[in-house]
Chain A
Amino acid sequence: MNLLEQGRLDTPFGFAAALLVGLAFGFWLERAGFGSSRKLSAIFYLRDFAVVQVMFSAVATAAFGLVALDVLGWFDASSVYRMPTLLGAQIVGGLLFGAGFVAGGWCPGTALVGAASGKLDALAFLAATLLGSLVYAWSFPALAPLQELGACGIVTLPQLLQLAPSTVAALVVAVALLAFAAIHRFAPRDHS
């Protein structure tokens, strides 16, 4: 039973557990080089592929691992919290987010790591994200139609593709490996 199921996620014990998970999260982000906005932004100039390499190996590892634990009967994957699909808001939000990512050089998680690494531009970015979230909160009623556009509850790729979750997880791993092979093929020289 995970802490969410037990109703203990937002208790002092849950806070301590989340803090430990966060420690590992911050550690790996920094090890990957994501405490550097030069390195993060470089993906958008095809100058450094670490963002794609790290992101897709993480997604493939977790997707495959979760399906494997479920198939083995060690963990019920359906007990994990899933976000509903809000297609309009996620596409428009994603486009704005990408624009902000390349202009700002950070995303919220990496900016924490950047600030911890002494980057003053990360502090400026973080302060601005606070303001940006408040701007959203106060424009929320006006944005309601967009939030409802394409809102269709929890939609998974296995449902959409009519395939078993284990098959889709294997496909994600295969696509990630193909993407890595393409990076090494077309962007040679020490992209290891």
Chain B
Amino acid sequence: MTAPIQPRSSGAQRYWNPYVAGFGLGLTLLLSFVALGVGLGASGASARVAASAAHTLAPRSVEANRYLGPWFEGGSPLASYLVFMSLGTLVGGWISARFAGRVLVEIERGPRSSARLRLALAVLGGLLVGFASRMAGGCTSGQALTGSALLLGGSWAFLVAVFAGGFLVAPLVRKEWQA
């Protein structure tokens, strides 16, 4: 067994201890519970941006859609705390990466993967994750992290299923990641 993965570029700082980062993440989730009354979320913003973009192309069709329609009843689907939380996540990630010298424009992949294979699988994975997040009512943030901390039965089932799905498919995409 080899050591944990660290940034490859020489100027970049090492990642923090996972327990320290996990503790900080847990306190952030607790702050979200206490201040906002809701946990963390990420997939909601992407669905709302998608709905908003689709609405500019086909407003009637989107408003008539049973899933997306209700988001337009109170105005724009972008007028949601979820969108602003994700905006914050983007900026917070950038601040952290910038100060640690970890901003690097690249197509990150394993040593045997071409850039084309990596991008194709990133798109395929994104399609699946976008679809599955709507089906499950949240992603690793809104269900696995938040729901598990709230001790919700369905969220723990989701968490277990995510790891099961990941381990089942991992051998099929080994070339993308591993030597």
* Contact B165 A61, beta carbon cutoff 8 Å: no
- Whether A82 touches B93, Cβ cut-off 8 Å, given contacts A50-B4, A104-B121, A138-B65, is no
* Contact A101 B91, beta carbon cutoff 8 Å: no
* Contact B67 A100, beta carbon cutoff 8 Å: no
Question: Whole-angstrom distance from the CB of B55 to the nearest CB of chain A?
Answer: 11
* Contact B93 A97, beta carbon cutoff 8 Å: no
**B107-131: which have CB < 8 Å to A?**
107-110, 118-119, 121-131
Interface size on B, residues (CB 8 A): 133
* Contact A109 B5, beta carbon cutoff 8 Å: no
B44's closest neighbor in chain A, by CB? A108
* Alpha-carbon distance between A58 and B20 when the two chains are bound, in angstroms: 9
* Contact B155 A60, beta carbon cutoff 8 Å: no
**B63-122: which have CB < 8 Å to A?**
65-68, 79-97, 100, 102-110, 118-119, 121-122
The contact of A132 among B16, B79, B129, B141, by CB within 8 Å, is: B129
* Contact B178 A45, beta carbon cutoff 8 Å: yes
Residue of A127, A133, A180 ringed by the most chain B CB atoms within 10 A: A133
* Contact A36 B46, beta carbon cutoff 8 Å: no
* Alpha-carbon distance between A132 and B128 when the two chains are bound, in angstroms: 6
Which chain A residues lie closer than 8 Å to B165 at the CB level?
94-99, 101-102
Question: Whole-angstrom distance from the CB of B158 to the nearest CB of chain A?
Answer: 4
Which chain B residues lie closer than 8 Å to A69 at the CB level?
30, 34
* Contact B157 A119, beta carbon cutoff 8 Å: no
* Contact B27 A65, beta carbon cutoff 8 Å: yes
* Contact A80 B39, beta carbon cutoff 8 Å: yes
Which chain B residues lie closer than 8 Å to A19 at the CB level?
84-85, 87-88
Which chain A residues lie closer than 8 Å to B164 at the CB level?
94-95, 98
* Contact A90 B84, beta carbon cutoff 8 Å: no
Interface status of A178 (Cβ within 8 A of chain B): no
The contact of A121 among B49, B119, B151, B158, by CB within 8 Å, is: B119
* Alpha-carbon distance between A35 and B96 when the two chains are bound, in angstroms: 10
The contact of A31 among B6, B16, B121, B135, by CB within 8 Å, is: B16
* Contact B23 A100, beta carbon cutoff 8 Å: no
- Mark contacts of B132-173 with chain A using CB atoms, 8 A cut-off: 1 yes-contact digit, 0 otherwise: 111111111111110111111111111111111111111011
* Contact A93 B169, beta carbon cutoff 8 Å: no
* Contact B170 A44, beta carbon cutoff 8 Å: yes
Question: Whole-angstrom distance from the CB of A190 to the nearest CB of chain B?
Answer: 4
- Mark contacts of A16-36 with chain B using CB atoms, 8 A cut-off: 1 yes-contact digit, 0 otherwise: 111111111111111111011
Question: Whole-angstrom distance from the CB of B44 to the nearest CB of chain A?
Answer: 9
- Whether A47 touches B5, Cβ cut-off 8 Å, given contacts A38-B177, A103-B176, is yes
29 A-B residue pairings within 8 Å (CB atoms): A4-B37, A21-B85, A23-B92, A26-B91, A29-B93, A35-B102, A41-B176, A45-B174, A48-B4, A50-B4, A50-B15, A56-B22, A85-B154, A85-B157, A90-B136, A92-B161, A98-B166, A103-B169, A104-B122, A108-B42, A109-B140, A112-B42, A120-B105, A130-B47, A130-B53, A131-B127, A159-B153, A189-B2, A191-B4
Report which B residues bind A (CB closer than 8 A): 1-7, 15-40, 42-43, 45-47, 49-51, 53-54, 65-68, 79-97, 100, 102-110, 118-119, 121-145, 147-170, 172-174, 176-178
Since A15-B83, A22-B88, A121-B119 are in contact, a sample of 5 more A-B pairs with Cβ atoms closer than 8 Å, ordered by chain A residue number, is A35-B97, A39-B5, A93-B137, A117-B103, A190-B4
